[in-house]
């Protein structure tokens, strides 16, 4: 296609009005939410190992937790000091909307920042479904038991668009877990949905996996 036509096409695309962001459920109705970081002692949060090792990283079990709540009410995880673990809330839950705001601490280069927000996970962390974070995130995936074996479920190809902001900027996730359906809203739009979640009651949590990440406004609304 000639350069002039490409320029005109680009201008036309730029003039097409973008869909207005859809407000989060928390923004739409701030009443009826429970703040999971209200207890500054974090006494209801539990560290759970993830991955084949089946234990917290060597030297970590007796060390101070990498999860700390700062003076601004932001949960900070220094994932560079741990292996692969889950910070799980102690209460098992049914249908909820989980609201979480998160950002990675930016580092040099373009590393594969890694962490996740878990709307449903078993107490031992072996069966789980999470919303992947990081620049390439914004989709649901998990480990599900199928006929006695664990099967990976990955909905990345069904993500409608990647709305995740770069490292250093705050992102907002809302995950609606209702029955067998998990719906992921990212920074203004629903981008992913999974309709075959085998767990209708489970725990929720946040993931540490090699990078420093912050979380704030970790809230739930029961449905």
CATH of the domain at 51: 2.60.120.560
Instruction: Evaluate whether residue 9 is within a structural domain.
Output: no
In a domain, 141, yes or no: yes
Number of domains in the chain: 1
Give the pairing type, strands 212-222 and 203-208. Answer: unpaired
Domain assignment present for residue 52? The answer is yes
13 within a domain of the structure (yes/no): no
Range of the domain at 24: 18-222
Distance CA 214, CA 217 (A): 11
Of 93, 107, 104, 95, give the one whose Cα is nearest residue 164: 104
Query: Over the chain (223 residues), what is each successive 10-residue block's mean pLDDT?
Result: 44 51 95 97 94 60 78 94 90 98 93 95 94 94 83 95 96 98 98 95 95 97 97
Question: What Rg, from alpha-carbon coordinates, does the chain have?
Answer: 19
CA–CA distance, 5 with 11 (Å, rounded to integer): 10
CB 173 within 8 A of CB 117: yes
Helix, strand, or coil (residue 35): strand
Q: What is the pTM of this model?
A: 0.87
> DSSP of 152-204, one letter per residue?
EEE-GGG-S---PPPTTS-EEEEEEEETTEEEEEETTEEEEEES--S-SSBEE
pLDDT at residue 63, as a whole number: 58
Inside any domain, residue 182: yes
Q: How far apart are CA 96 and CA 69, in angstroms?
A: 24
Structural domain includes residue 1: no
Q: Is residue 7 part of a domain?
A: no
53 is a domain residue? yes
């Amino acid at each position: 296609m000639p350069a002039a036509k490409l320029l005109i096409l680009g201008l036309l695309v730029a003039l097409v009005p973008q869909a207005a962001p859809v407000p989060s459920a928390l923004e739409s109705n701030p009443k009826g939410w429970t703040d999971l970081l209200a207890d500054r002692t974090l006494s209801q949060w539990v560290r759970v190992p993830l991955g084949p090792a089946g234990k917290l990283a060597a030297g970590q079990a007796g060390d101070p937790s990498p999860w700390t709540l700062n003076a601004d009410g932001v949960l900070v995880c220094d994932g560079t000091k741990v292996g692969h673990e889950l910070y799980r809330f102690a209460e098992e839950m049914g249908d909820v909307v989980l609201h979480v705001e998160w950002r990675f601490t930016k580092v040099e280069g373009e590393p594969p920042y890694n962490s996740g927000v878990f709307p449903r996970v078993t107490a031992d962390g072996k069966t789980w479904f999470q919303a992947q974070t990081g620049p390439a995130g914004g989709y649901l995936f998990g480990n599900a038991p199928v006929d006695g074996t664990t099967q990976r479920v990955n909905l990345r190809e069904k993500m409608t668009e990647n709305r995740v902001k770069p490292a250093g900027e705050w992102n907002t996730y809302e995950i609606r877990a209702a029955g067998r359906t998990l719906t992921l809203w990212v920074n203004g739009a629903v981008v992913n949905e999974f309709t075959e979640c085998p767990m209708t009651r489970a725990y929720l949590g946040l993931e540490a996996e090699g990078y420093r990440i912050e979380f704030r406004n970790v809230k739930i609304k029961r449905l």
